[in-house]
Structure 1
Amino acid sequence: MDSLTLTAQAAPQAAVIPRHTKVIVFCFCFLGLLADGADLMLLSYSLGSLRQEFGLTPFQAGSLGSITLAAMAIGGLYGGWACDRFGRAKVVFWTLIIFSLGTATLGLTHNYWQFAAVRFLSSLGLGSLFVASNTLMSEFVSTRYRTTVLATLQAGWTVGYLVATVLAGAIIPGHGWRWLFFVAVLPVTLALFAKPLVPEPPAWLAAHAEKNRLRRSGEAAAVKRQDALRVLLGDPAARRMLLLWTLTAGLMQFGYYGTNNWMPSYLEGELHMNFKAMTGYMVGTYAAMIFGKVFSGMAADRFGRRATFVFGALGTAIFLPAIVYLHSAGNILYLLVAFGFLYGIPVGVVATYMTESFDTRVRGSGVGGAYNGGRVIAAFAPAIIGVLASEVSIGMGFVVMGAAYLLCGVIPALWIRDKLHDPQKGS
Structure 2
Amino acid sequence: MKQIDVHQLIDEARFNRFHWMLLFWCALVIIFDGYDLVIYGVVLPKLMTEWALTPLQAGALGSYALFGMMFGAMFFGPLSDKIGRKKVIAACVTLFSAFTFLNGFVTDMTEFGICRFMAGLGIGGVMPNVVALMTEYSPKKIRSLLVTIMFSGYSVGGMLSAGLGIWLIPAYGWSAVFFVAIIPLLLLPLILYFLPESPAFLLHSKNYVQMEKVLHQLKPGFHPAQDAEYHYATGKTADQAPLIALFRNNRLLTTLMFWIAFFMCLLMVYALGSWLPKLMNKAGYPLGSSLMFLMVLNIGAIFGAIGGGWLADQFHPRRILTIFFIIAAGSISLLGIKSNTLMLNMLVALAGATTIGTQILLYAYVAQYYPLSIRSTGIGWASGIGRSGAILGPILGGTLLSMNLPLEFNFYAFAIPGAIACIAISLAGRQTQTLSS
In the TM superposition, what is the alpha-carbon distance from 1:338 to its structure 2 partner?
Answer: 2.9
The residue number in structure 2 matching 1:392 is: 404
Which amino acid counterpart does residue 327 of structure 1 have in structure 2? S
- State the alpha-carbon separation in 2 of the partners of residues 141 and 288 from structure 1: 25
The residue number in structure 1 matching 2:175 is: 178
In the TM superposition, what is the alpha-carbon distance from 1:383 to its structure 2 partner?
Answer: 0.8
Correspondent of 1:190 among 166, 187, 190: 187
In the TM superposition, what is the alpha-carbon distance from 1:326 to its structure 2 partner?
Answer: 4.5
Task: Summarize the alignment of residues 129-168 of structure 1 with structure 2, pairs less than 5 Å apart.
Answer: 129-168=126-165
Asked whether 1:410 is paired with 2:405, we answer no
Asked whether 1:370 is paired with 2:382, we answer yes
The residue number in structure 2 matching 1:12 is: 7
Identity %: 24
Asked whether 1:243 is paired with 2:238, we answer no
The residue number in structure 2 matching 1:217 is: none
- State the alpha-carbon separation in 2 of the partners of residues 344 and 230 from structure 1: 29
- State the alpha-carbon separation in 1 of the partners of residues 299 and 99 from structure 2: 28
Which amino acid counterpart does residue 5 of structure 2 have in structure 1? A
Asked whether 1:343 is paired with 2:355, we answer yes
Q: Secondary structure at the match of 2:273?
A: helix
Contact 1:44 1:264 in 2 (8 A): yes
The residue number in structure 1 matching 2:228 is: none
The residue number in structure 2 matching 1:324 is: 336
In the TM superposition, what is the alpha-carbon distance from 1:346 to its structure 2 partner?
Answer: 1.2
The residue number in structure 1 matching 2:215 is: none
Contact 2:267 2:392 in 1 (8 A): yes
Which amino acid counterpart does residue 265 of structure 1 have in structure 2? K
The residue number in structure 1 matching 2:246 is: 232
Contact 2:251 2:433 in 1 (8 A): no
C-alpha deviations, 1:224-260, integer Å up to 9, x for none? 6254234335x25344433221111011101111111
Q: Would the alpha carbon gap of residues 143 and 420 (structure 1) be closer, same or farther in structure 2, given more than 3 Å must change?
A: farther
Q: Secondary structure at the match of 2:196?
A: coil
**After the TM superposition, which of the residue ranges 84-93 and 33-42 deviates more from structure 2?**
84-93
The residue number in structure 2 matching 1:273 is: 285
- State the alpha-carbon separation in 2 of the partners of residues 45 and 313 from structure 1: 26
Which amino acid counterpart does residue 375 of structure 1 have in structure 2? R
C-alpha deviations, 1:358-384, integer Å up to 9, x for none? 111111111101111111233112112
The residue number in structure 2 matching 1:310 is: 322
C-alpha deviations, 1:195-238, integer Å up to 9, x for none? 1221113234335559xxxxxxxxxxx996254234335x2534
In the TM superposition, what is the alpha-carbon distance from 1:40 to its structure 2 partner?
Answer: 1.2
Which amino acid counterpart does residue 336 of structure 1 have in structure 2? V
Contact 1:242 1:369 in 2 (8 A): no
Q: Structure 2-normalised TM-score? A: 0.86
- State the alpha-carbon separation in 2 of the partners of residues 341 and 282 from structure 1: 12
Q: Would the alpha carbon gap of residues 381 and 413 (structure 1) be closer, same or farther in structure 2, given more than 3 Å must change?
A: same
- State the alpha-carbon separation in 2 of the partners of residues 78 and 318 from structure 1: 35
Q: Which sections of structure 2, spanning at least 5 residues, go unmatched? A: 208-235
- State the alpha-carbon separation in 1 of the partners of residues 93 and 379 from structure 2: 19
- State the alpha-carbon separation in 1 of the partners of residues 381 and 101 from structure 2: 28
**What's the RMSD between the two structures over aligned residues?**
2.6
- State the alpha-carbon separation in 1 of the partners of residues 170 and 364 from structure 2: 40
C-alpha deviations, 1:72-128, integer Å up to 9, x for none? 000110111112011123222221111000001111111111111111111110101
- State the alpha-carbon separation in 2 of the partners of residues 33 and 167 from structure 1: 17
Q: Secondary structure at the match of 1:121?
A: helix
Q: Secondary structure at the match of 1:177?
A: coil
The residue number in structure 2 matching 1:33 is: 30
- State the alpha-carbon separation in 2 of the partners of residues 116 and 137 from structure 1: 32
Runs of 4+ in 1 over 4 A off after TM superposition: 14-18, 207-210, 418-422
Q: Would the alpha carbon gap of residues 231 and 410 (structure 1) be closer, same or farther in structure 2, given more than 3 Å must change?
A: closer
- State the alpha-carbon separation in 2 of the partners of residues 318 and 199 from structure 1: 41
Q: Which sections of structure 1, spanning at least 5 residues, go unmatched? A: 1-6, 211-221
Q: Structure 1-normalised TM-score? A: 0.88
Asked whether 1:64 is paired with 2:61, we answer yes
The count of aligned residue pairs is 404
Determine which structure has the larger helix proportion and give its number: 1
Which amino acid counterpart does residue 407 of structure 1 have in structure 2? I
